[in-house]
Amino acid sequence: MVFTLSPYLPITPSLSHQIAEEPLKIDQVIKGIKRDELLKLTQELIRVPSVRCEDRGGEGKVALFVARHLEEMGLDVVVEEVEPGSPNVIGILQGQGEGSCLMFECHTDVVTEGDPSEWKYDPYEGKLIGNRIYGRGACDTKGNLAAALKAVEAICRSGVPFKGKILLGILVDEEGLMRGVKHFIRHGWANHVNAAIICEPVDNHLCITQKGALRVELITTGKMSHGAMPLAGFNPIPPMVSILQKIKHLEEEEIERLGKDSFLGYPSITPTVLQAPVKGEPQLNVVPYQCRALLDIRTIPGQSHEALKKQLEDILKEEERVVCESLRSGSLREIREILEKGLSKGISFEAQLNIFEDRPWTKTSKEEPIVQAVAKAYQSITGGEPVYDGVPGATDGTFLTAWAGIPIVTIGAGKRMVPHQKDEWVSIEDLCLTAKLYAASALEFLTR
Ligand SMILES: [Zn+2]
């Protein structure tokens, strides 16, 4: 790679000395990033399957492989078990003297390969075809993990001085409940991190915002009965339908109020699961006891999760109040009939709300030093301007910002639509660019 000064950078006489020195350092480091080594490491990582299982982890083997690699690089390495079989790996490269701490965050877990016979190539072979490496995790995010390791290794080998330190946080369970990053924060690792680069497949766009998410369960409870005598029970399905209609209305109000975010699009409240009965066989002639719905809520900057939770609670409370009032007063024709027949005994209605995951949206200002450092690195390496963008889902970065106040940038190789599909792949050329961007970003951030 021959370094050329970006044509977009204005060089004023006062800045020329400074700019002339920086590219030399960056050039010296990125020369050490070798395509073949990056390819080999990506393949090695893919060849250690790390699909997470709820009861026995799954990232253990690949985490230990990474830990050994970091030790060989000469980093200080800590392996911390989050759950049995699921350890976080933390590697630290010390710079010279006091300064900031830059974190590279990657995850070791991958999602299931599904039916391997559906794949063109073995999902764990890491096959190279033309310019592409195929395999589960190639894109999300073992390729980017390899790029981060090779970037730090190149900095280490080059001997180019920098201040502060680089922390590699190679965490578990990003695809699940993000227990790895939560453990990392709870154990104090995030306390001294000044900024983080989240290594995820986003077409090497410079992502400065991420959607938030709420995972919600709704349960309506009535009374089971024979389908031929529905009035002997109480059907929990119609109140659930009414609740979901009101929630649809709430979604429309939020879209109206906030409009379209330029990077993230519209907010959404999507019912993804609807079940009745919740337990046992569904049968046509049985009025179920309970009905359950799951909501996948995605939020954008400007929305308050607390306000949304309150609005959902109010919708459920109101439905419960109206239904219970009808049951008590016998105002409905059917209810009068029930009361007359003396069948109302034990009939009640309840609506419950359970929020089991809350991931706030994030937004990092373009003025933040980490955003400026990555943008400058992008200009230095490519000679062009970065494409600013947003991440449609939550990442481990969500919690680094929400719980620890760390400014984040998400950037990495890989097409956005490729993760979690069969025949997952990543371009080796894109990974090379990513490794150079990571190395240059670290130098920009830690030598400024
Ligand atoms: Zn990922």
Cβ-based neighbour number of residue 204 at 10 Å: 21
Residue 295 and residue 226 share a domain: yes
Q: How far is the CA of 174 from the centre of ligand 1 (A)?
A: 7
Instruction: Tell the residue number behind the tokens 């009068």, with chain if given.
Output: 336
Same domain, 177 and 100: yes
Task: Note the pLDDT of residue 116.
Answer: 93
Question: Parallel, antiparallel, or unpaired: how do β-strands 195-198 and 408-410 relate?
Answer: parallel
Of the pLDDT bands very low, low, confident and very high (cuts 50, 70, 90), residue 90 is very high
Query: Ligand 1: distance of its center to the CA of 371 in Å?
Result: 20
Ligand 1 center to 395 CA (angstroms): 7
429: pLDDT strictly greater than 90: yes
Same domain, 149 and 175: yes
pLDDT at position 420 is: 82
- Span 398-411, pLDDT tens digits: 999 999 999 999 99
> What's the pLDDT at 21?
55
Are 271 and 192 found together in one domain? Answer: no
| pLDDT tens per residue across span 380-397 | 999 999 999 999 989 999
Instruction: Report yes or no on 329 lying in a domain.
Output: yes
- Higher pLDDT, residue 327 or 338: 327
Q: What is the pLDDT of residues 269-307, one digit of tens each?
A: 999 999 999 999 999 999 999 999 999 999 999 999 999
Ligand 1 centre to CA of 344 (Å) is: 53
- Picking from 1-15, 23-37, 122-136, which range would have the lowest pLDDT averaged per residue? 1-15
355: CATH = 3.30.70.360
Query: Phi and psi at residue 131, in whole multiples of 5°?
Result: -100, 0
Domain contains 243: yes
- Which of residues 359, 391, 407 is at a domain's end? 359
What pLDDT score was predicted for residue 217? 98
Domain of 271 in residue numbering reads as 212-359
Residues 227 and 330 in one domain: yes
Give percent of the chain with pLDDT exceeding 90: 82
Q: Is residue 4 part of a domain?
A: no
- 341 with 409, same domain: the answer is no
Asked, for residue 8, whether it belongs to a domain, the answer is: no
Residues 6+ apart with CB under 8 A from 112: 51, 136
Closest by CA position to 210, among listed 391, 368, 387, 364: 391
Measured in Å, residue 200 CA sits from the centre of ligand 1 at 5
Query: Token digits for 389?
Result: 């963008």
In the reported structure, the alpha carbon of residue 241 is separated from the centroid of ligand 1 by a whole-number distance in angstroms of 35
Distance (Å) from CA 222 to ligand 1 centroid: 41
Query: What's the burial of 159, exposed, middle or buried (CB within 10 Å: 0-12/13-18/19+)?
Result: exposed
Q: Are residues 335 and 269 in the same domain?
A: yes
DSSP H helices, 74-220, are 143-158, 179-186
Distance from C-alpha of 127 to C-alpha of 425, rounded to nearest angstrom: 9
34-73 residue pLDDT tens: 999 999 999 999 999 999 877 777 899 999 999 999 999 9
Whether residue 161 is found in the same domain as residue 54: yes
Mean pLDDT of the chain: 91
Q: Which residue has the higher pLDDT, 418 or 237?
A: 237
164 & 23 share domain? yes
25 neighbors 160 (Cβ within 8 angstroms): yes
Provide the angle, in degrees to the nearest 10, between the axes of the packed helices 428-447 and 143-158. 50
Spacing, Cα 198 to ligand 1 middle (Å): 9
173 alpha carbon to ligand 1 midpoint, in Å? 10
Q: According to the model, what pLDDT value does residue 230 have?
A: 86
**Would you place residue 12 in the very low, low, confident or very high pLDDT band (cuts 50, 70, 90)?**
very low
| Domain final residue pick, 336, 359, 382 | 359
**Average pLDDT rounded to a whole number, residues 143-168:** 97
Q: In CATH, what number is assigned to the domain containing residue 19?
A: 3.40.630.10
Give domain status of residue 90, yes or no. yes
CA of 141 to the centre of ligand 1 (A): 5
Percentage of residues of the chain with pLDDT beyond 70: 91
Total domain count, the chain: 2
**2 within some domain:** no
Classify residue 188 as left (phi > 0), alpha (psi -120 to 50) or beta.
left
Please report the pLDDT score of residue 6 as a whole number: 33
- Between the CA of 398 and the centroid of ligand 1 the distance, in Å, is 12
Residues 380 and 240 in one domain: no
Which residues have CB less than 5 Å away from ligand 1 (the ion)? 140-141, 200
pLDDT tens figures, 180-196 = 999 999 999 999 999 99
Nearest residue to 139 (alpha-carbon basis) of 367, 380, 434: 434
Q: Does a structural domain hold residue 7? A: no
Q: Are both 147 and 158 inside the same structural domain?
A: yes
Q: Which residues pair with 212 in a beta bridge?
A: 299
Task: Look at residues 110, 112, 66, 71 and name the one whose alpha carbon lies nearest to residue 88.
Answer: 66
Last residue of a domain, one of 314, 330, 359: 359
Among 332, 300, 437, CA closest to 382: 437
Is residue 56 one of the residues assigned to a domain? yes
Ligand 1 centroid to Cα of residue 396, in Å, is 9
Rounded to the nearest angstrom, the distance between the alpha carbon of 438 and the centre of ligand 1 is 17
**Ligand 1 centroid to residue 127 C-alpha, Å:** 20
Residues 79 and 196 in one domain: yes
> What does 270-335 look like in DSSP terms, one character per residue?
EEEEEESSSSS---TTEE-SEEEEEEEEEE-TT--HHHHHHHHHHHHHHHHHHHHHHHHHT-SHHH
